[in-house]
Structure formats: C-alpha cells, structure tokens
Chains A and B, each alone.
Chain A
Amino acid sequence: GENVEQHPSTLSVQEGDSAVIKCTYSDSASNYFPWYKQELGKRPQLIIDIRSNVGEKKDQRIAVTLNKTAKHFSLHITETQPEDSAVYFCAASGHPSEKLTFGTGTRLTIIP
C-alpha cells in the first residue's frame, strides 16, 4: 500500500518568513495530494490540493508543488502569520474520493 513520509516534524519560522514542508510517497499510482491544517483541538481542514496533471498550484500565500517523477510534493507558505501556527498533514490517494494515506504531520510555529 501507499506510504507517505513527511519532513520536518517540527518547524519554527519568524513571522513574515516562508515555510516549506516536504512529503514523499511510494505508490506511483497516486494522483491526488491534499494538504490539511489542524489547529489544536480542531478538525483537519483542507487548505489546498493538487492533482497529478499539474506541477504547481497557488492560493494566495499558499502553494503546492508536485514532482511525479521523484514522487514528492511540497507545501510552501509565504509571508507567514501567527495564525499559520498549526499541525500540517500531507496525504495521497489514487483519486480525490478514494481513501487518503496521511503523512506524520509537521508542527509549524510562527514566532512573532
């Protein structure tokens, strides 16, 4: 089955700087890669996703890149703000409506 690795496990950045979280996956049949943000005590929230037919997708300060050949994808957050502090999970599946395999999570702390 699919295996998703995520790095780093913790990340601290100064407010205003950029943060990058990286994930690798094992199953070449995976075609859908969402990212979720989970604040303490809250549900995971879908923040952005990318499908295998594109290499990059951007939504305001958040972007995701995908390299299918290398089987890795990354989340980029620019101009970080205190409210970006949370745990971020990457995931992978063969199709958007199929079961997701999650990475281990990255705890992002924005230092004011």
Chain B
Amino acid sequence: SAVISQKPSRDICQRGTSLTIQCQVDSQVTMMFWYRQQPGQSLTLIATANQGSEATYESGFVIDKFPISRPNLTFSTLTVSNMSPEDSSIYLCSAAIAGTHEQYFGPGTRLTVT
C-alpha cells in the first residue's frame, strides 16, 4: 500500500473565494486522480492529474473551476475556484502505485462553503 496525505483536512470558506488542496504520496506512483464525494453518495471523478501537463477533465468539470497541477510524480494540487455553496463536498485524491497499479485514497478534504 502507500501513505497518501492531504491538506487541509477540512475548511470553511466564503462564497467567491478559492481553496487549494494538496495531495502527497510517499511511494512511487503512476497515475493520480481527484474525486468528489457528496455525503452519502458515491465517488465522482473530477480529473486525472497528469505530470507536467494539463489535467484530463471529466464531463461536467472544467479547468477554470478546478485547476489541477502535478509538478512531480508524487504531488498534486486541486484548486476549487470562485466557490459557491454547491461546491461543499469531500474532495479526495487517489494514486495508482507503481508496480501493483492498485489505487489508494487520501483521507479527503471536507469543504464547506458559506
């Protein structure tokens, strides 16, 4: 397995502001992903974080709203921009570990927008 950390673990933000979430993995990884999970619901993929190039976004998610960076193999950031209450959710990063390719999740960031 791997140790995946995220920060912050939670935040309360005002409408119209932005929040950047960091994800760090302690092992060699191949792929990194960002998901959103509403309370009591399943996980929805936001985007695949590509090292050194633009992220690949899923339908319904755009770069202007969710800019993603991945400057090296084991670190990625997700920014939630111009937030509204509808952005309140848990944001999780995941990483596919080199070798096994199994995917593991970070602990999540609980975001509340007021």
Contacts and interface: CB of A to CB of B under 8 A. Distances in A.
Interface stretch (A59-67, A70-78, A95-103): A95-103
A24 B41 CA distance: 18
Interface residues of B, number: 23
Interface string A72-112: 00000000000000000100000111111111110000000
A46 interface: yes
Interface of B: 1, 30-31, 33, 41-45, 48, 58, 92, 94, 96, 100-108
14 contacts: A34-B103, A42-B107, A43-B92, A44-B43, A44-B105, A46-B103, A95-B101, A100-B33, A100-B43, A100-B94, A104-B41, A104-B42, A105-B41, A105-B42
